[in-house]
Structure 1
Amino acid sequence: MNLQEMNLREKVAQLFTFPAFASALDEDTRKLVTRLKAGGIFLGTSALIRPRQVGELCRDLQQASLEEGSGIPLFIAADLVAGAGCKLREGAVHFPKNRAIGAGGDEALAYESGRITAEESLAMGVNFNYSPVVDINNNPLNPVIGTHSFGEDADTVSRLGRAVIRGYQEHGMIATAKHFPGHGDTHVDSHEALPVLPFGRERLESFELAPFREAIRGGVDAVMVGHIAVPAWDDSSLPASLSYTLTTGLLRERLNFQGLIVTDGLSMKGITNQFTLEEACVRAVQAGADILLATVDSYEQAESVLEAVVTAVEQGEITEARIEESVRRILQMKQKYRLTAEQYQFPDISTDRLNSPASQRISRALADQALTPLRGLQRGVLAGEPQEQPWILIRDEHTAGFAERLRSGLPNLREESAPSYEGTLALLSELPEDARVLLAVSHNKPMGEAFTEAADRLLGSMREGLWIHFGSEYDVRERSAPCLLAYDRAPSLQASAAAYLLGEEKVTIVP
Structure 2
Amino acid sequence: MNDWTNALNRLTLEEKVGQLFTFYNTGTAMSEFAATMIGELKAGGMFLDMGSLSDPEQVHRLTSAMQDVSLRSGSGIPLFVSADFVAGTGCKLKRGGAVHFPKNKAVGAAGDVSLAYESGRVTAIESLAMGVNFNYSPVVDINNNPLNPVIGTHSFGEDRDRVSEMGTAVIRGYQDHGMIATAKHFPGHGDTSVDSHFDLPVLPFDAERLDRFEPFRRAIEAGVDAVMVGHIAVPSLDPSLLPASLSYAMTTGILRERLGFQGLIVTDGLSMKGVTARFTQAEACVMAVKAGADILLAHARTIEEAGPMAEAVLRAVRSGEIPMERLDASVGRILRMKAKYGLLPETYRPLPYDPEAFDRPEHAAIALRLARAAASPVNGFRPLAEWKPAAADGGWTFIGERQLDRFAELVRSAGIVKREHTLESYEGLPTALERVAPDEPLLVSVTHNKRMDAETLRALDKRAEARPDVPVVLVHFGSHYDMEHVPHVPALLLYDRAPALQEAAAERLLGREQADERKDG
- Indicate which of 473, 480, 501 corresponds to 1:466: 473
SS at match of 1:300: helix
1:387 Cα deviation (Å)?
4.8
Shift of 1:427: 0.9
**Aligned positions of 1:381-396 closer than 5 A:** 381=385, 386-388=391-393, 390-396=395-401
Partner SS, residue 373 of structure 1: strand
**Alignment: residue pair count:** 507
Larger displacement relative to structure 2 (158-167 or 371-380): 371-380
Say which SS state the counterpart of residue 349 (structure 2) adopts.
coil
Q: Which letter maps to 1:231?
A: P
SS in structure 1 at match of 2:242 = coil
Q: Secondary structure at the match of 1:477?
A: helix
Cα deviation code 1:312-340 (max 9, x no counterpart): 11122111111110000000000000011
What is the rounded CA distance, in whole Å, between the counterparts of 2:190 and 2:311 in structure 1?
35
Please give the per-residue CA displacement for 1:278-308, whole angstroms capped at 9, x wherever unaligned.
1111100000000000022111111110111
Single out whichever of 459-468 and 395-404 deviates more from structure 2.
Answer: 459-468
Match of 2:238 in 1: 234
Superposed CA deviations along residues 207-265 of structure 1, whole A, max 9, x for unmatched, are 12xx1000000000000000000111111111000000000000000100000000000
Mapping for residues 94-133 of structure 1, pairs under 5 Å? 94-133=100-139
The within-5 A match list for 1:182-221 is 182-208=188-214, 211-221=215-225
C-alpha contact (below 8 Å) 1:383/1:502 kept by paired residues = no
- Tell me the residue number matched to 1:267: 271
- 1:179 matched to 2:192? The reply is no
- Asked whether the 8 Å contact 1:380–1:504 carries over to 2, the reply is no
Contact 1:364 1:507 in 2 (8 A): no
1:142-200, CA deviations, whole angstroms, 9 ceiling, x for partnerless residues? 00001000010110000010000000000000000000011101000000100111112
1:443 maps to 2:448: yes
CA shift for structure 1 position 389: 5.2
The one-letter code of the counterpart of 1:475 is: D
Paired residue for 1:92? 98
Gaps (5+ residues) in structure 1? Answer: none
Tell me what 1:312 maps to: 316
| Alignment partner of 1:258 is 2:266 | no
* Deviation, structure 1 residue 347: 2.6
Over 3 Å counting, the alpha-carbon distance change for 1:347 and 1:450 in structure 2 is farther
Matches within 5 A, 1:351-500: 351-379=355-383, 381=385, 386-388=391-393, 390-410=395-415, 412-461=417-466, 463-480=470-487, 481-500=489-508
Deviation of 1:23 after TM superposition, in Å, equals 0.6
Corresponding letter in the other structure for 2:256 = R
Aligned to 2:8: 3
Counterpart CA distance in 2 for 1:413 and 1:125 is: 48
Cα distance, 1:201 vs structure 2: 2.2
Cα–Cα, structure 1 residues 106 and 380, in superposed 2: closer, same or farther, change >3 Å?
A: farther
Q: How does 1:44-83 map to 2 (within 5 A)?
A: 44-83=49-88
Per mean C-alpha deviation after superposition, the further-off stretch among 475-484 and 265-274 is 475-484
Provide the residue aligned with 1:328 in structure 2. 332
Q: Shift of residue 478 of structure 1?
A: 4.3
Tell me the distance in 2 between the aligned counterparts of 1:206 and 1:465.
41
Partner of 1:167: 173
Corresponding residue number in structure 2 for 1:299: 303
Q: Is the 8 A contact 2:457 2:485 kept in 1?
A: no
The amino acid that maps onto 2:496 is D
Provide the rounded CA distance (Å) in 1 between the counterparts of 2:202 and 2:353. 43
User: Partner amino acid for 1:477?
Assistant: E
Deviations 1:460-495 (A, max 9, x none): 445221111101111113422111110000000000
Deviation at 1:414, TM superposition (A): 2.6
2:428 partner amino acid:
G
Secondary structure of 1:19's aligned partner = strand
Whole-angstrom CA distance in 1 between matches of 2:514 and 2:308? 55
Say if 1:122 and 1:173, in contact at 8 Å, map to a contact too: yes
Corresponding residue number in structure 1 for 2:248: 244
Deviations 1:427-455 (A, max 9, x none): 11211000111110001111122222223
Q: Is the 8 A contact 1:382 1:502 kept in 2?
A: no
Q: Which moved more, 1:424-433 or 1:491-500?
A: 424-433
**If the length of structure 2 is used for normalisation, what is the TM-score?**
0.95
Alignment-mate amino acid for residue 324 of structure 2: E
Moved more, 264-273 or 28-37: 28-37
After TM superposition, give the deviation of residue 507 of structure 1 in Å: 8.2
- Report if the CA contact (8 A) 2:11-2:75 is conserved: no
The CA distance in 1 between the partners of 2:464 and 2:401, in whole Å, is 16
Corresponding position of 1:20: 25
- Contact kept, 8 Å, 1:144 with 1:189, in 2: the verdict is yes
Is the CA contact (8 Å cut-off) linking 2:394 and 2:417 kept in structure 1?
Answer: no
